[in-house]
Structure 1
Amino acid sequence: MSLAQLKGATAYLVDSQGISVKAAAEDQDEEVESLLNSFDVDNKAACGMLRISTNETNTLSSKHKRTPAAVPVHHDQLSASLETASAGVIVDTTLSDYQRYWNQFKDFCVTINKVVLADDVDGLYPNLPADFPMWIALWIMDK
């Protein structure tokens, strides 16, 4: 190995010291779940069960495009469409993904001193603080 390669390895080692084992394990868990979800999508696609949405209005000529007034929308139709579109979206790992993300978010709220204990975040509902969306944005930016 050359000296230049060792210097590069040293830089990576120094950078990695700032990453906790817990964070690395969480990242690995996310990657595994993502991989498993992709297998589920591939399997559904292979069986013809995967629905791919297309926007028909994009293929119409400009003189034939629908205007909002030309397409009456009813709540029942929208609800039925949403239910159909959502079918099969929640797979085995989806709920565990949501729970894991929620727990990560609660831990983050402790690190930014918004709550004392992670479980205190659950007690904020239904009277969420006005800056709660900012907490979420900060958590996303931190990820």
Structure 2
Amino acid sequence: MLLRTRQTPVLPNEALEEEATAQQAIANDQSEEAETIIMDPANDSALDLVISETKLMVVKSEDALDADAVNLKKASEGVVVASTIAEYARQWIKFKQFCVRQNYLGQEHEIDDMHPNFPENFPTLVALWIMEKCDPMDIHTGEIKHPNQDRASYSYAQKMRAAVSHKFSREYRFGTQPWTENPMNPGFHTGNVSLSPTISQYMISLQRRKVIVKVLG
């Protein structure tokens, strides 16, 4: 099932052109995003990575080191304050509300019901959500927004993407699994949507436009 649209949404041309040239930039973005997911203290994998790296240093017996590593993980659990996790949850709720408001979905719960197989155009929803909040261009017209419309910072766009990354890596248990089509279910994808080429390409394009606006402003 493809997600419905009230009207054909418009993504900036810059995010869709020069595909061959942009492949390396997309790969770099995906690699950086995957590293961000791994090192996010909100994910157990980040703490496990710290522990595994600690084990490479033979300074104690293996049993003693394992015991200390457990204590390290326990002590590290407070790195991410509750407000950060709460912010991820708030952003995810805003994303679902956006999908319903734009008539891409009928009800908010439909997104969670998709798990673990998401429609192939799901990354476009995430990109459009970020675009509506942070981009100088309107999602429906492709024209410059009215001064009264939202144009949040690129940092805020990264926060929105981080919320989606966390949802897919931690709660949906995809970790840094690439966004790929399910061979047993054509048209549907699994993996972390934040690592999809669509979102990577859009974020690169958004950052470029933010820089241009700052220079011209």
| Superposition TM-score, scaled by structure 2 size | 0.26
Q: Which has the larger radius of gyration?
A: 1
TM-score (norm 1): 0.39
Structure number with higher relative contact order (C-alpha < 8 Å, ≥ 6 residues apart): 2
